[in-house]
Amino acid sequence: MQIATPYLMFLGDVPDRLAAKTAYGINDWRHEWCVGQFRMEGCAADLDIPDLTLEQAVAQGCKTMVVGVVNAGGVLPEHWVEKIVAALDAGLDVASGLHVRLGSVPAIAEAAQRNGRALHDVRHTTETFPTGKGTKRPGRRLLTVGTDCSVGKKYTALALERGMRERGFDADFRATGQTGVFISGRGVAIDAVVADFISGAVEWVSPANEPNHWDLIEGQGSLFHPSFAGVSLGLLHGAQADAFVVCHEPTRTRMRGVEASLPTIQEVIDLTIRCGSLTNPGIRPVGIAINTQALAEPQARVLLAETEAAHRLPATDPVRFGVEGLVDRIAAEFPA
Amino acid sequence: MQIATPYLMFLGDVPDRLAAKTAYGINDWRHEWCVGQFRMEGCAADLDIPDLTLEQAVAQGCKTMVVGVVNAGGVLPEHWVEKIVAALDAGLDVASGLHVRLGSVPAIAEAAQRNGRALHDVRHTTETFPTGKGTKRPGRRLLTVGTDCSVGKKYTALALERGMRERGFDADFRATGQTGVFISGRGVAIDAVVADFISGAVEWVSPANEPNHWDLIEGQGSLFHPSFAGVSLGLLHGAQADAFVVCHEPTRTRMRGVEASLPTIQEVIDLTIRCGSLTNPGIRPVGIAINTQALAEPQARVLLAETEAAHRLPATDPVRFGVEGLVDRIAAEFPA
């Protein structure tokens, strides 16, 4: 899936910020692609970017209207459908993170065809991937892995992209989840791929590249999560990661959505090396990213210092304290 | 997917035995369900069971016509379509292992609806599974795992079902691939499930059961196969296996379809225990199944004896030498 940029951000008439979480994430990380927002009467979300009509958006170069919002019932309300049709008629592609497929709404399917515009359903994939080959491809790759789901794997990869580019690295974030796909304009929601093609889809997401180029691949789930470990393993094998960062949330008492207890950071390091060496025998950890949001700053600093000492790896909260230490380690371990 | 039995086996007019491989597999393992065969002029396959008309099949109690054949082009030829429609009109369900979905052929879809009959596409699944929970459920489970794809995991599970039932065990084969689904009349082709639901689908395939009941779960792929390890791991976690048998093909020099070399049997044992203990800390190996087809009998016996000694586990070729030793070990390790 390759989504044309820049974007007009459709916010509909959502009742709160949370319903526009994806749109906020895109604007946080790709502000330069968010030319304007399109809001309807009663909309309680605001990205603090210009409100544009469809015609203004087209005139300012927008290529795609992004529906980065959800509504309570999970359905596509009728009064949103007419705006999406109008966007297609105005010459924009439309990309959506909704569960419902845009093309399943007859009026939208007809308008896309009539105008020769593309519809992207980021939660789904129509792409047919080959199965993974496991053959080492050129370029360097870092994967963010986790002790659990929702521990900061996407944010860590994005923060590394920003931090590494600032330090002169040639580095690209590679998306494997829906918000990530909007942020990179390309990628695939890996958990929606048919099981046989997980590693093949990752090989497609992160293709061969220049020897010193870094792909920063967004991880999913955890090798220790009883629901999703298969996705995590296929992702690890397809990524052929040279390096990985372990992401962790220190206040969690059990794994998200199930009764299983959390693995230790060391267990994640060990099993990631054990399994990852199948497609890249040189795989090694380069740091630990801890989401310290729930801790006061002194406590957070103590925890990070203890973690560094215990694992002899740089540990940071990428959002709170930056990724300097991680980039130092990458530079030292992988000289150009 | 639950397919009503017994079956009328549709062989069409396939030009050779190989094109009817699935039908032969079903008849090998579920001869009692194969009431008769329905062949068209020029058919070169023969299951050596009675040739029946559709009316005779219905009169003899058949519930489902099984299209256990493939044709060269991968499409459904027009002269098969009319026979499938006739079967639906005669009151049979139809189940197919073809890539093309039965319901995508308008004449077949209409006939199914008109007659209120079910269509089963065993290569696909329309079932929506919950994500895996990882919570231990009652009953005992054995999973066949492999050093590679296509090393005898299905045959080993089926041979164990037969051998354990003969010894008085309450045991059921559980299918995770298309031929297996026809053989058990239930199950799901696990590699066709969306990635997020692999372990959840396996929890569905092998539900809670009596404490002494054994599910013999058909494995898929290998934890060491760079294309399919994600499927294998989700399957292992969903199976919550108490016991596993490692399946191996000794003449293979690299993994099927890729450049990777084969793991050793010991590596498979170690990683299966390491990963499987997430959802069942008691997981242990109970034997090794080696496909010795390419070896003369004395060589095969030497290899099996050496393998037994090296791993202190019973080793056999289930097809050639039976599963007695494996069942002995299961009985000893898991007393009722």
Residue of A nearest to B201 (CA): A227
Secondary structure of residue B153 in the 3-state scheme: helix
**CB spacing of B131 vs A228 below 8 angstroms:** yes
Q: How far apart are CA A120 and CA A141, in angstroms?
A: 27
**CB spacing of A194 vs B196 below 8 angstroms:** no
- Quick one: average pLDDT of B19-42? 95
**CB spacing of B196 vs A274 below 8 angstroms:** no
Letter for the amino acid at A12?
G
Domains in chain B: boundaries: 7-121, 140-333
pLDDT value, residue B121: 92
- Taking 70 as the threshold, does the pLDDT of residue A73 lie above it? no
Candidates B231, B232, B254, B271, partner chain A, best to mutate (most A CBs within 10 A): B231
For the domain made up of A7-121, the CATH class stated in words is alpha beta
User: What residues have CB less than 8 Å from A330, skipping those under 6 apart?
Assistant: A142, A164, A169, A214, A243, A286
Query: To the nearest whole number, what is the mean pLDDT of chain A?
Result: 95
pLDDT value, residue A70: 81
pLDDT value, residue A74: 64
**CB spacing of B134 vs A227 below 8 angstroms:** yes
Q: How far apart are CA A217 and CA A208, in angstroms?
A: 14
* Strands B284-290, B315-316: pairing kind: parallel
Contact B84, B121 (CB under 8 A): no
Contact B268, B224 (CB under 8 A): yes
- Quick one: average pLDDT of B53-74? 91
List residues bridging with B248 in a β-sheet.
B290
- Give pLDDT tens digits for B205-242: 999 999 999 999 999 999 999 999 999 999 999 999 99
pLDDT value, residue B166: 97
pLDDT value, residue B295: 97
- Give pLDDT tens digits for B278-330: 999 999 999 999 999 999 999 999 999 999 999 999 999 999 999 999 999 99
- Give pLDDT tens digits for A247-272: 999 999 999 889 899 999 999 999 99
- Quick one: average pLDDT of A23-45? 96
Q: How far apart are CA B25 and CA B20, in angstroms?
A: 9
pLDDT value, residue A76: 87
Query: A140-333 adopts what CATH topology?
Result: Rossmann fold (3.40.50)
**CB spacing of B226 vs A199 below 8 angstroms:** yes
Task: Give the residue from B190, B169, B171 showing the smallest Cα distance to B180.
Answer: B190
What's the gap in Å between the CA of A192 and the closest CA on chain B?
6
Strands of the A119-121 sheet, one edge to the other: A34-39, A7-12, A64-67, A93-96, A119-121
* Residue numbers in A near B143 (CB within 8 A): none
Higher per-residue pLDDT: B124 or B254: B254
CA gyration radius, chain B:
20
Higher per-residue pLDDT: A155 or A100: A155
- Quick one: average pLDDT of B166-186? 94
What's the gap in Å between the CA of B54 and the closest CA on chain A?
36
Confidence category of residue A222, pLDDT binned at 50, 70, 90 = very high
- Taking 80 as the threshold, does the pLDDT of residue B31 lie above it? yes
Q: How far apart are CA A95 and CA B256, in angstroms?
A: 38
The per-residue DSSP string of B97-113 comes to -SSS-GGGSHHHHHHHH
Expressed in angstroms, the distance from the first to the final Cα of chain A is 31
**CB spacing of B135 vs A192 below 8 angstroms:** no
pLDDT value, residue B124: 84
Residue of B nearest to A238 (CA): B226
CA distances from B76 to A158, B39, B107 (A): 48, 16, 12
* Residue numbers in B near A132 (CB within 8 A): 226-228, 258
* Residue numbers in A near B229 (CB within 8 A): 199, 233-234, 237, 275, 278
Q: How far apart are CA A92 and CA A54, in angstroms?
A: 9
CB atoms within 10 A of CB B302: 12
> Is there a shared CATH topology between the B7-121 domain and the B140-333 domain?
yes
Confidence category of residue A332, pLDDT binned at 50, 70, 90 = very high
* Residue numbers in A near B198 (CB within 8 A): 195, 230-231
Letter for the amino acid at B165?
R
Secondary structure of residue A124 in the 3-state scheme: coil
Please report how the helices B265-276 and B297-311 are oriented relative to each other, as an axis angle in degrees rounded to 10: 50
Residue of A nearest to B220 (CA): A196
- Taking 70 as the threshold, does the pLDDT of residue B74 lie above it? no
- Quick one: average pLDDT of A310-324? 97
Q: How far apart are CA A288 and CA A246, in angstroms?
A: 5
- Taking 70 as the threshold, does the pLDDT of residue B44 lie above it? yes
Token look-up 């995590």 returns: A232
Burial class (CB in 10 A: 0-12, 13-18, 19+), B73: exposed
**CB spacing of A195 vs B198 below 8 angstroms:** yes
Candidates A227, A255, A274, A279, partner chain B, best to mutate (most B CBs within 10 A): A227
pLDDT value, residue B73: 67
Please report how the helices A324-333 and A153-166 are oriented relative to each other, as an axis angle in degrees rounded to 10: 70
Please report how the helices B324-333 and B153-166 are oriented relative to each other, as an axis angle in degrees rounded to 10: 70
Q: What percent of chain B has pLDDT over 90?
A: 86
- Quick one: average pLDDT of B82-108? 95
* Residue numbers in A near B199 (CB within 8 A): 226-230
Numbered residues of chain B with Cβ closer than 8 Å to any chain A Cβ: 131-135, 190-196, 198-200, 223-224, 226-235, 237, 257-260, 271, 274-275, 278-279
Alpha helices in chain A (DSSP H): 21-29, 54-59, 78-89, 106-115, 153-166, 178-184, 198-205, 229-239, 265-276, 297-311, 318-321, 324-333
**CB spacing of B132 vs A226 below 8 angstroms:** yes
Token look-up 């005898």 returns: B152
* Rounded-to-10 torsion of CA A320, A321, A323, A325: -150
Token look-up 């009539």 returns: A114
- Give pLDDT tens digits for B120-156: 999 887 677 889 999 999 999 999 999 999 999 999 9
- Give pLDDT tens digits for A88-144: 999 999 999 888 899 999 999 999 999 999 999 998 876 778 899 999 999 999 999
What's the gap in Å between the CA of B271 and the closest CA on chain A?
9
What's the gap in Å between the CA of A26 and the closest CA on chain B?
24
Residues across chain A: 336
pLDDT value, residue B99: 80
